[in-house]
Chain A
């Protein structure tokens, strides 16, 4: 389940602005989501290979050049889908755990069932 969630989080960080791996890890840490660099890099590469991300090299005075990632258009629309899915699932889970009895179940049947791929 975490699989899709991770990608979602990363895409959202990059959406906010061009970022390079270290930055991303810092932000995740701030949000109490700990991820290893070794996990991040392959992930970024995969996303890049799926044309959801693009990068550019930025020279740095203090050390080797860095890759800065940004979302492509495809990435943007993919992100939108992911967000919709996430919000939908979150709402559904909320409803389930806040159930008040029979009336809630009837209510729930009107909703469109969500298929969640994790």
Chain B
């Protein structure tokens, strides 16, 4: 049973089935549309309605209690539908369009020709499209794409076709579904939207496919096996987009829009289309209002909006073209920025993860912990996430549903800023003041008159802080220089130290330790300084120092520093172990002006180098070359001559070059066995020399040199 309603039709109340009434309404609407150009439209429609009312009356009289769908259908058939009117009609316009409609669907194929009506350049693509019943835009796009790869062949083909094919004027190119640009759903130019419409796929699919090579080209360095295609692609993709923009027409009229979607074109669907457009326009305006109101994302969207706005009113094609070009570039750059941010975000997460254990040493109050987290999450990661979401939305065409989302992002980011500030303020308070303690070390004067400083690794296992997740190789584990973490992560080994060599005021060696630390007050700082654990052991002329000092996470990191002062009497010698080059120098300075951090990895004093013996003279430290380092016998001692090592290397190089020249000249006579034998003898001679001089220690110097030379010669001979 269908619902029956009462309507007021031509001054009478008529009971009628609801669907029947709907049909009636539609019919009258269609008439209105059909006669929209007629002068007497209202009168005609009224007359027809009047007639219908009369017929309703007859039906009721005949015994019907209400008008049914069947009644309405019969009446409409007898009255005739607008499409049928022109069978005997006198209306010029309607008849011509009617015949066009027939032509549209029944136009014979005919021969291949150029379509002079619908031409961009020569009408060739249009003609081909007409012949194959494919949309002209598709043909054009294919043509352009082929032209890219064909190095001008397509260009010549085009010219040939232009000459060969006759041109014809066709009223309309015959096609059902056309490729248009969808201006209503556009991000830049609606090119990809239109493509999506034509193939009836979701909008984000062609967009993603289009942008994928662009994205990958930015990543190209991450692919060691290389994606060279993509790198070249991205540039030509932008160009392709612009060409597509120019070639594919925009769907402006309702008819075109329906052609784009492949909908049946008749009066009703056109009416429907207009209604939809009005609704869509209103929605569009509302959404834009929200977008403009949000702060964080409004920057880039405002910008894009401005470009859109300036582009639309200026109807001129050239200006719009430039605007579209600009927009493409802007989005490209924004895309690159987004990717960089993504990479940055990932990096932050990775680094943060690695530095996690250090957190315990820095943070000595809950407040700092809070500020620290606030900083990382709100200040650093938030904008990255927000921008990524923005780009994702733009890509998929999802509109933002509410304006408060933008405000929320902004508020959270402001909180992030506050967190950062508070974080630095509180941290710097703890490093405001420094305190220092100087402790002398009990020393027995070495019997040899030389003092050697060696470093021992303290008891317990300490590991470097590892950033590199992917590298399984132990050798490469370096982590942060000078910082090592215990296995259970509760103590830290720091080599935050310096060695100072000074002249002693008397005949003996003096050694003392200066300990430093920082805290919020000077008294606290001294306390912390005193707590630095550093014990020196002596075995005659060797001082064993721990290679760093230990901080546990109860004491926390207080920028503890250690200076080891060695006073050397004149005439005595001193040697510092090579491990001293592992020292770092970290300075955290807090205070009114904020927190400043210095980090010096390769700390080196100007006056001395580790691994070398020095002698104290009246004027200061001087290098001592005589004494051998007993601990390292395999290393050749420095030569007695006061020549710099660099000069020595230069001299050796020159000698090698000389020998090279000799070999070259000898090479010319290589066919003659004498010369070969000569060379052999010469080489053997060297060998003999070497073996004979092996006993003498003086010759050991030369041995080293000749060894280098011989090896070089061998290499050269092999190369020949």
Name A's B-contacting residues (CB within 8 A): 2-4, 6-7, 21-22, 35-39, 41-46, 48-49, 62-67
Contacts and interface: CB of A to CB of B under 8 A. Distances in A.
B674 interface: no
A21 B46 CA distance: 13
A39 B84 CA distance: 9
Nearest 5 CB-CB pairings of A with B? A36-B80, A63-B57, A38-B80, A45-B40, A3-B90
Nearest to A21: B51
A37 B80 contact: yes
A59 B12 CA distance: 14
A103 B174 CA distance: 51
Contacts of A45: 38, 40, 43-44, 47
A21 B47 contact: yes
Contacts of B58: 62-63
Contact of B54 (A3, A41, A63): A63
Contacts of B720: none
Given A3-B90, A64-B12, A66-B54, A37 B78 contact: yes
Given A21-B47, A64-B11, A39 B40 contact: no
Contacts of A67: 47, 50
B249 interface: no
A66 B51 CA distance: 8
Given A37-B78, A38-B84, A43-B90, A64 B44 contact: no
Contacts of A39: 80, 85, 87-89
Contacts of B38: 42, 45-46
A86 B51 CA distance: 32
B80 A64 contact: no
Q: What DSSP secondary structure best describes chain A's contact surface?
A: helix
B82 A38 contact: yes
Most-contacted residue by chain B among A4, A37, A48, A62 (CB, 10 A)? A37
A64 B53 contact: yes
B693 interface: no
Contact of B39 (A36, A41, A44, A49): A49
Interface of B: 10-12, 31, 35, 38-40, 43-44, 47-48, 50-51, 53-54, 57-58, 61, 78-82, 84-85, 87-91
Contact of A62 (B35, B57, B89): B57
Nearest to B53: A64
Contacts, number: 79
Nearest to A49: B40
Contacts of B54: 22, 63-64, 66
Given A37-B78, A38-B48, A62 B88 contact: no
B164 to A, nearest CB: 42
11 contacts: A3-B89, A22-B54, A36-B79, A37-B80, A38-B31, A38-B81, A42-B91, A45-B44, A49-B40, A64-B10, A67-B47
Given A6-B88, A64-B10, A37 B39 contact: no
Contacts of A42: 35, 38, 40, 44, 85, 91
A38 B85 contact: yes
B48 A37 contact: yes
A60 to B, nearest CB: 8
B32 to A, nearest CB: 12
B88 A2 contact: yes
Contacts of A38: 31, 48, 79-82, 84-85
Contacts of B53: 63-64
Nearest to A6: B88
A64 B61 CA distance: 13
A35 B88 CA distance: 7
Contacts of B39: 49
B47 A36 contact: no
A7 B80 contact: no
Contacts of B57: 62-64
Nearest to B89: A39
A86 to B, nearest CB: 16
